[in-house]
Amino acid sequence: MHAKNPDKATPYRRLGLAGLLLAFTLPLQAETPDVQSLDYPLTLPGNELPLDELRSFAEVYERIKQAYVHEVDDKTLLENAIRGMLSGLDPHSDYLEPEAFKELRESTQGEFGGLGIEIGIEDGYIRVISPIDDTPASRAGIQPLDLIIRINGTSTRELSIDRAIEMMRGEPGTDITLTILREASGQPFEVELTRDLIRTASVRQELLEKDYGYLRISQFQTRSGEETLQALETLRENNEGDLQGLVLDLRNNPGGVLQAAADVSDVFLDSGLIVYTEGRLPDTEMRFDASPGDALQGTPIVVLINSGSASASEILAGALQDHRRALIMGTPSFGKGSVQTVLPLYNDRALKMTTALYYTPKGRSIQADGIHPDIEVINARITPVSERSTPREADLEGHLQGQQKQPENTSESKLTSPDDYAVNEALNLLKGLNIFSETNRKGSPQAAE
- As a whole number, the mean pLDDT across the chain is 84
Q: Is residue 227 part of a domain?
A: yes
Mean pLDDT to the nearest integer, 82-92: 93
The amino acid occupying position 337 is G
Q: Is residue 124 part of a domain?
A: yes
Per the CB < 8 A criterion, the answer to whether 109 and 129 are in contact is: no
**Percent of the chain surpassing pLDDT 90:** 58
At 30 the pLDDT is 33
Given 322, 365, 374, 431, the catalytic residue: 322
**pLDDT band at residue 116 under the 50/70/90 scheme:** confident
- For the stretch 367-393, pLDDT in tens is 999 999 999 998 887 777 766 566 777
For residues 194 and 260, state if they share a domain: no
For residues 289 and 195, state if they share a domain: no
Of the residues 199, 230, 260, the one at which a domain ends: 199
Could you tell me which of 110, 288, 122 has the C-alpha nearest to residue 201?
110
Establish how many alpha carbons lie within 13 A of residue 18's alpha carbon, considering only the half-sphere containing its beta carbon. Answer: 17
Per the CB < 8 A criterion, the answer to whether 164 and 156 are in contact is: yes
What are phi and psi for residue 319, nearest 5 degrees?
Answer: -65, -45
Q: Is residue 419 part of a domain?
A: no
* Annotation says 311 is catalytic: yes
For residues 224 and 329, state if they share a domain: yes
Given 107, 218, 224, 311, the catalytic residue: 311
pTM (two decimals): 0.78
What are phi and psi for residue 40, nearest 5 degrees?
Answer: -135, 155
* Annotation says 210 is catalytic: no
Q: Is residue 244 part of a domain?
A: yes
For residues 164 and 269, state if they share a domain: no
What is the extent of the structural domain holding 272? 203-338+355-376
Rounded Cα–Cα distance for residues 72 and 90 (Å): 27
**pLDDT band at residue 102 under the 50/70/90 scheme:** confident
DSSP 8-47: SPPP-PPPSSSSEEEEE-SSP--PPPS-SS--S-SS-TTP
Mean pLDDT to the nearest integer, 292-314: 96
CATH code, domain carrying 237: 3.90.226.10
What are phi and psi for residue 431, nearest 5 degrees?
Answer: -65, -40
For residues 282 and 371, state if they share a domain: yes
For 184-244, list the strands marked E by DSSP. 189-194, 196-199, 203-209, 212-217
Q: Is residue 393 part of a domain?
A: no
For residues 228 and 372, state if they share a domain: yes
Q: Is residue 247 part of a domain?
A: yes
Highest mean pLDDT (candidates 40-54, 216-230, 404-418):
216-230
For residues 233 and 195, state if they share a domain: no
Per the CB < 8 A criterion, the answer to whether 106 and 121 are in contact is: no
At 22 the pLDDT is 72
Mean pLDDT to the nearest integer, 269-296: 95
Of the residues 199, 216, 236, the one at which a domain ends: 199
Q: Is residue 423 part of a domain?
A: no
CATH code, domain carrying 156: 2.30.42.10
At 392 the pLDDT is 72
Could you tell me which of 421, 369, 118 has the C-alpha nearest to residue 249?
421
Of the residues 150, 178, 199, the one at which a domain ends: 199
For residues 275 and 370, state if they share a domain: yes
For residues 189 and 219, state if they share a domain: no
Rounded Cα–Cα distance for residues 48 and 65 (Å): 28
For residues 259 and 117, state if they share a domain: no
Domain tally, the chain: 2
For residues 151 and 280, state if they share a domain: no
Q: Is residue 175 part of a domain?
A: yes
Given 336, 338, 352, 420, the catalytic residue: 336
SS3 422: helix
* Annotation says 322 is catalytic: yes
For residues 184 and 213, state if they share a domain: no
At 376 the pLDDT is 97
